[in-house]
Amino acid sequence: MKIMRATRMERCIGCHSCSLACSRQVHKVLSWNKAGIRIASSGGLSTGFEARVCLACDPAPCVAACPTGAFSQRKGGGVIQKRNLCIRCGECAKACPVDAIFLDHQVNPYVCIHCGRCIPYCPHDCLEMVEVPERRNGSNKDKEVAS
Partner 1 sequence: MIRDYFRVMVVNLGTGKANIVERGGRNEVLGGTGLAARLFQEFGHADRPWNDPDQPMILAIGPLTGYYPLMSKTCCSFKSPYHDQYAESYAGGKSALSLRFADLDALVITGRAERLTALCVGSRRVELKDVEYLRGFDALSTGRALRKMFPGSGRRSILRIGPAAEKLSTYACINVDTYRHFGRLGGGTVMGVKNLKGICILGDRGFPLPEGKAYPKLYKHIFEQLTSTEMMSKYHGVGTAVNISPLNGLKSLPWKNLQQTSSPHAERISGETFADETLLRNAACAGCPVGCIHVGFVREQFQTNNQYLYRQVAYDYEPIFAVGGMLEIIEPGEVLRVLDVIEKEGFDCMSCGVALAWATEALERGDISEDETLLPLKWGDAETYMKAVELLSQQENEFYSLLARGTMRAVARYGGGDYACVLGQEMAGYATGEVFFVSEALGFRHAHLDAGGYSWDQKHEEKDVDAALKFLVEDGRKRIILNCMVGCLFSRGVYTEALLDEALEAVGYTDLATGVDEIAFEVQKLRWRVRISTGYDPRTVKIPKRYSEITTWKGPLDTEYMEALRQGFAQRIMELGAPLPEDAPEK
- Other beta carbons within 10 Å of 54: 24
Q: Is 140 in the site for partner 1 (CB under 8 A)?
A: no
CA distance 50 to 35: 15
Q: Does 32 bind partner 1 (CB under 8 A)?
A: yes
Is residue 132 a contact residue for ligand SF4 (CB under 6 A)? no
**Contact yes or no for 6/129 (Cβ under 8 A):** no
Residue 57 touches which member of ligand SF4, partner 1, none, C-beta under 5-8 Å by kind: none
Tell me how far CA of residue 11 lies from CA of 8, 43, 48, 126, 142, in angstroms.
6, 17, 9, 6, 36
Q: Which stretch binds partner 1 (CB under 8 A): 21-29, 58-66, 80-88, 138-146?
A: 21-29
Quick note: the x/- pattern for ligand SF4 over 65-104, rule CB under 6 A, is: xxxx-xx--------------xxxxxxx------------
Q: Is 118 in the site for ligand SF4 (CB under 6 A)?
A: yes
CB 2 within 8 A of CB 56: no
Which residue, 40 or 137, is less far from ligand SF4 as judged by CB?
40
**Contacted by 24, from partner 1, ligand SF4, none: CB < 5 to 8 Å by type:** partner 1
22 binds ligand SF4 (CB under 6 A): yes
Other CB atoms within 10 Å distance of the CB of residue 16: 19
